[in-house]
Amino acid sequence: MDRVECIVIGGGVIGLAVARALARRGKEVVVLERHAVIGSETSSRNSGVIHAGLYYPADSLRARFCVAGRHALYDFCASHGVSHAKVGKLVVATEEDQLEPLDALIERARGNGVDDLERLDPQEACALEPLLVCRGAFLSPSTGIVDVHEYMLALEGEAQSLGALVALESPCLGGAVTDGGIRIDIGGRDPASLVAQIVVNAAGLGAQEVARNIEGLDFAHIPPLHYAKGNYFSLTGPSPFSHLIYPMPSGAWLGVHVGLDLGNRCRFGPDLHWVDNIDYDVDIAEAGNFAASIRRYYPALGDDALQPDYTGIRPKIYGPGQQAADFMVQCVDTHGIDGLVNLFGIESPGLTSSLALAEEVADRVGA
């Protein structure tokens, strides 16, 4: 049976970043991606935002990786020619009773190491965005946007230049913990089995299924998977905004926000729906709810201005009404299997966190 040093399961942003980190440390790496193209699930169906690190509890993995990852991602984009822009973000309070939570959010973000926030009164906010209506806001100038596809291609390209192999249409069917390493069984056009010393399960929406199919892993260590679907709607024509605009968050949901792409196109979303199955159809009936949410800070939104765009589904490890969970980076100290890393619940800010998270994984497996 063929052997390889490292197998990374999942060719999305996280899997490709991990493959790059391991290859940069001289490891032999094979990436298994079940689809015909890289990053076709969670990685390509999000807002494309480089987050600053505002929302996450102090000392959480999400806070730590987001702040460190943001710096690393801007540097990577600059050095690898990946299209991006530091457009900045306004977080806005639309009601008087949101002002105190707004200030508390500023303090949380500063505690996470975000040291460039600027508190704004309504006039100052409207000077930046004349169509905005709010009771108060703050500016996060280090928030940005990135061309996610270019970023993934750059990660893949660098990993391959260092010897990594990215195998498309190569689903992980299962495997087993053996005395000689971890066996991974591969389907697709050329079925095979490989034995590796290091296996990183970065399968995103499929991470729990991959873990359940590895013989020798106690199922008690596999968290539940909840699908959180979000619709996006867009505006036709140039964007009326130059910044990202986020309402004050409601619990673990950041609200229907203004997103931008690098072509100055404006979109709104996501909303939040807990679903039982993966379905990427836009729910057109949600346009009315979107419009009502948006008009709280953008009352000039025209009737019938919203066009259905796309959807995304996040792999959450907590369900409706439950407290938001941290990233789960599960290693030998949890499940007892040397060389196996399971990455569960890697959703927002996973894109921003990807490079920092990848280095953490490489450190934990001793690469």
**pLDDT computed for residue 1 by the predictor:** 66
Buried b (16+ CB within 10 A) or exposed e, 306-324: bebbbbbbbbbbbeeeeeb
pLDDT by residue (tens digit) across 288-331? Answer: 999 999 999 999 999 989 999 999 999 999 999 899 999 999 99
pLDDT at position 133 over 70: yes
**pLDDT confidence bin for 249, thresholds 50/70/90:** confident
Could you tell me how far CA 173 lies from the centroid of its own chain? 25
Q: Which of 1-5, 198-202, 213-217 is least confident? A: 1-5
- pLDDT score of 250: 74
Indicate the DSSP class of residue 41.
S
- pLDDT at 200 (0 to 100): 98
Around 296, how many Cα atoms within 13 Å sit in the side-chain half-sphere? 22
With a cut of 80, say whether residue 252 has pLDDT above it: no
Mean pLDDT of the chain: 96
Q: pLDDT at residue 265 above 70?
A: yes
Domains of the chain: 2-45+149-223+325-364 (3.50.50.60), 89-141+225-316 (3.30.9.10)
Give which of 177, 172, 136, 144 is closest to 69, Cα–Cα.
144
Give the separation between CA 110 and CA 46, rounded to whole angstroms.
Answer: 25
Alpha-carbon distance 29 to 333, whole Å? Answer: 23
Is residue 275 pLDDT above 70, yes or no?
A: yes
Distance CA(232)–CA(40), nearest Å, equals 17
255 band by pLDDT with thresholds 50, 70 and 90: confident
The pLDDT, as a whole number, for residue 174 is 96
The mean pLDDT of 50-67, rounded to a whole number, is 96
Summarize the confidence of residues 21-50 as an average pLDDT. Answer: 97
Is the pLDDT score of 367 beyond 90? no
- What pLDDT shows up at residue 47? 94
Could you give the CA distance from residue 202 to residue 204 in angstroms, rounded to a whole number?
Answer: 6
The answer to whether the beta carbons of residues 84 and 363 sit under 8 Å apart is no
